[in-house]
Amino acid sequence: MTDLTAFIAGLPKAELHVHHVGSASPRIVAELAARHPDSPVPKDLDALADFFTFRDFAHFIDVYISVVGLIRDAEDVRLLTYEVARDMARQNVRYAELTVTPHSSVTRGIPDVAFMEAIEDARTGAERDLGVVLRWCFDIPGELGLPAAEETTRLACDLRPEGLVSFGLGGPEIGWPRPQFKPYFDRAIAEGLHSVPHAGETTGPETVWDALRELRAERIGHGTSAARDPELLAYLAEHRVPLEVCPTSNVATRAVPSLEEHPLRQMVDAGVLVTINSDDPPMFSTDLNTEYAVAARLLDLDAAGVAALAKNAVTASFMDAPGKARLSAEIDAYLAAWPG
Ligand SMILES: [Zn+2]
């Protein structure tokens, strides 16, 4: 372990862009598979580790779909959520806004109220036992169109669980223009939820503009293509709209050709508030600590630079002011005590 790797491992962190089902590690999948012996997912940890080794995007979708198939009842939801928090705690993640897609569980037959109770039970347990504060972003699976948007809005606004802070939009961008989702974001925003759609991951900067203008985005999921539009970068910097950057995911999905060609530095140089995130970590064979190491390399950062990046996530989060002050102070104290 290099000094910087060790620094990152112990650094208290916040994560703002990470998906619920996409965070199921082989260890968690083994536990879920044990509950459902009829599932085709391998149950042995070695076989699972192999199954989880990222090969290409099509393979990622296969893994993702098999994990979705293991989440059949409220106890699966609770177990997944709590165990995801355990994996976060091991990386010294203190706070995470987890993107949850309740639509996929509810349409697969888990009663909506039981789903909310399961995530909330996991949330309070994770905070109590593991010291990880979880908050939810409910996202619309965009590829399922307006009925899914309607249902996600109902789940968010009518059944609003205590930990819910934001409203998102995922799925493919090509063929699913952002403006059609405006009425659903309007309602969620009116109910006090923050707007955090994915945009500009697989399409050009115009999708990010749409997210800003039509969906009133307060943060952008990915926003990779914003780097191609200097005016947009200037807007994001001036209005302090943070980007949730997920470097390894961007390479895995071919949003960028390689890590070396990732526009992270351009974003930072333009003064944009950039946060580092892991997206679907075990499925892309990464974790948040690895993403910080990647960012440190691309931006040529030392320990103080990495700590500043960690504080960006605190600033960009929807934590309350005392929570932000506490986590920022914890990061400062950790840096001050670091021997380097
Ligand atoms: Zn994402």
Res 16 pLDDT > 70: yes
- Could you tell me the distance, in angstroms and rounded to a whole number, from the CA of residue 176 to the centre of ligand 1? 16
- Could you tell me the distance, in angstroms and rounded to a whole number, from the CA of residue 121 to the centre of ligand 1? 24
- Could you tell me the distance, in angstroms and rounded to a whole number, from the CA of residue 230 to the centre of ligand 1? 24
- Could you tell me the distance, in angstroms and rounded to a whole number, from the CA of residue 97 to the centre of ligand 1? 12
- Could you tell me the distance, in angstroms and rounded to a whole number, from the CA of residue 39 to the centre of ligand 1? 26
Q: What is the pLDDT of residue 135?
A: 98
Task: Cite the DSSP H helix spans in the chain.
Answer: 3-10, 26-35, 45-52, 57-68, 74-90, 102-107, 112-130, 145-158, 182-190, 205-213, 230-238, 247-252, 264-269, 288-299, 303-316, 321-337
Question: Phi first, then psi: what are they for 222, rounded to 5°?
Answer: 75, -85
**Dist CA 29 CA 53 (whole Å):** 14
Q: What is the mean pLDDT of residues 260-286?
A: 97
Q: Which residues are catalytic?
A: 201
Task: Please choose, from the candidates 271, 169, 148, the residue with its C-alpha nearest in 3D space to the C-alpha of residue 211.
Answer: 169
Res 144 pLDDT > 80: yes
Residue partners of 25: CB distance under 8 A and separation at least 6? 52, 83, 84, 87, 281, 282
Top-tier CATH class for 3-337: alpha beta
User: What is the pTM for the complete model shown?
Assistant: 0.96
What are the domain boundaries of the chain? 3-337
Confirm if 235 and 200 have CB atoms less than 8 A apart.
no
Confirm if 145 and 133 have CB atoms less than 8 A apart.
no
Average pLDDT, the chain: 96
CA dihedral 255, 260, 266, 268 (to 10 degrees): 100
Interval 292-305: pLDDT, tens? 999 999 999 999 99
Interval 240-258: pLDDT, tens? 999 999 999 999 999 999 9
- Could you tell me the distance, in angstroms and rounded to a whole number, from the CA of residue 235 to the centre of ligand 1? 22
CB count within 10 Å of CB 76 equals: 18
- Could you tell me the distance, in angstroms and rounded to a whole number, from the CA of residue 316 to the centre of ligand 1? 16
Res 270 pLDDT > 80: yes
**Dist CA 291 CA 62 (whole Å):** 23
55: confidence class by pLDDT, cuts 50, 70, 90: confident
- Could you tell me the distance, in angstroms and rounded to a whole number, from the CA of residue 275 to the centre of ligand 1? 13
Q: Over pLDDT 70: what percentage of the chain?
A: 100
**Dist CA 224 CA 69 (whole Å):** 30
Confirm if 326 and 334 have CB atoms less than 8 A apart.
no
**Dist CA 114 CA 122 (whole Å):** 12
Q: Over pLDDT 90: what percentage of the chain?
A: 90
Confirm if 25 and 107 have CB atoms less than 8 A apart.
no
Of 52-56, 159-163, 239-243, 250-254, the poorest mean pLDDT is in 52-56
340: confidence class by pLDDT, cuts 50, 70, 90: confident
Res 1 pLDDT > 80: no
In terms of Cβ atoms closer than 10 Å to its own Cβ (0-12, 13-18, 19+), residue 276 is buried
Q: How far apart are the first and last CA of the chain?
A: 15
Q: What is the pLDDT of residue 2?
A: 77
Residue partners of 57: CB distance under 8 A and separation at least 6? 252, 253, 254
- Could you tell me the distance, in angstroms and rounded to a whole number, from the CA of residue 139 to the centre of ligand 1? 10
Task: Please choose, from the candidates 137, 209, 138, the residue with its C-alpha nearest in 3D space to the C-alpha of residue 173.
Answer: 209
- Could you tell me the distance, in angstroms and rounded to a whole number, from the CA of residue 256 to the centre of ligand 1? 15
- Could you tell me the distance, in angstroms and rounded to a whole number, from the CA of residue 250 to the centre of ligand 1? 10
CA 224 to chain centre: 15
